[in-house]
Amino acid sequence: MTVGSLSRASVRERLSGYGLALRIAPVTVRVRSSLRVFAEQLHSLYRDYPLADAADFADIDIRMLPVAGWRRFGRSQVQFVVDGTTPFDPFPVDHALPMFEWGLNWVFAHRKHEYLLLHAAVVDRDGRGLVMPAWPGSGKSTLAASLTCRGWRLLSDEFGVVTLPGAEVIPFARPVALKNESIDVIRAIDSAASIGPLFPKTRKGTVAHYRAPALSIRSGSESTRVAALVFPDFQSGATISIRSLPKSTAFLKLAGNSFNYEVLGEAGFRAVTSIVRGCESLVLRYGDLDSAHQAIDDIFDGARP
């Protein structure tokens, strides 16, 4: 059974009661909320995700609760609660969905230390993984979404979840958070792409979520081997360029793009070493997606432009 197999009324009823148990491999997330608009958005954005049994163990328990009696600038507020704790200040109630997405990212990054967690987008083609580590603003989410529109399998736009000691990457396929101009860019690439509502005036500007393809969600148990490590560097109007990195430099850049490298200690060192030794590491500077797509195809075909 998937979220989409339930009616909107059933989703609202479950969220308001014991909760909706979402299977977002590799975790199960129980979500509870009485907010009607959040229930409707979750029903749309997560429609292809399987549901766990209500009595199953949930790795993460999240509640999105209206803040009684508190309005800021005349707007109702919502509080993100995870396992009884409130790690963030409330958001405007109409921004409950992005708060849920960012909050789940925060919880995953702070808890899943059985894996090396890279701040990276990951896509797969024919069983070979492309890992794109980058800081915000480098274009990794837009590039990952655009490759997914071209048939690549989405593993994640935010986390490279690496099994220890670093042999494989497993999926954590979630909706891709598109920001500002990227929203229209993806719509232009694929007019059939399912993109959720716009959320203006967030801390990252205007945000909308590209729904993860059903095939990527159904492949939630299928890991991939890292075939290429590409550090994207979007510069508007830039000419395409590819620069090979020495292993030592790639190691430092990859470790610096990890959420928990220092937490893992020796295990983190060995995992990063395994990835860097096992594939070529490149910096891809690009000014448009067409040239980036061609460069990535050439990399995967064993040729360099």
Domain boundaries, the chain: 3-111, 115-300
User: DSSP secondary structure string, the chain?
Assistant: -BGGGS-HHHHHHHHHTT-EEEEETTEEEEEEE--HHHHHHHHHHTTTSBBPPTTS--SEEEEEEEEEEEEETTEEEEEEEETTB--S--EEGGGHHHHHHHHHHHHHHHH-TTEEEEEEEEEEETTEEEEEE--TTSSHHHHHHHHHHTTPEEEESSEEEEETTTS-EE-----EEEETHHHHHHHHH-TT--B---EEEETTEEEEEEPPPHHHHHTTT--BEEEEEEEEEE-TTPPPEEEE--HHHHHHHHHHTBSSHHHHTHHHHHHHHHHHHHSEEEEEEESSHHHHHHHHHHHHTT---
10-residue stretch averages of pLDDT, the chain, 305 residues long? 95 94 96 95 95 89 86 77 94 94 97 96 95 88 95 95 89 95 93 91 92 93 94 92 96 96 96 94 94 93 61
Q: What is the pLDDT of residue 229?
A: 96
- pLDDT on residue 261: 97
Residue 74 is predicted with a pLDDT of: 58
- C-alpha torsion angle, residues 259, 223, 214, 207 (rounded to 10): 20
CA quadruple 4, 5, 10, 16: dihedral positive or negative? negative
pLDDT of residue 70: 55
Residues 42, 48: Cα–Cα separation, whole Å: 11
pLDDT of 165 reads: 81
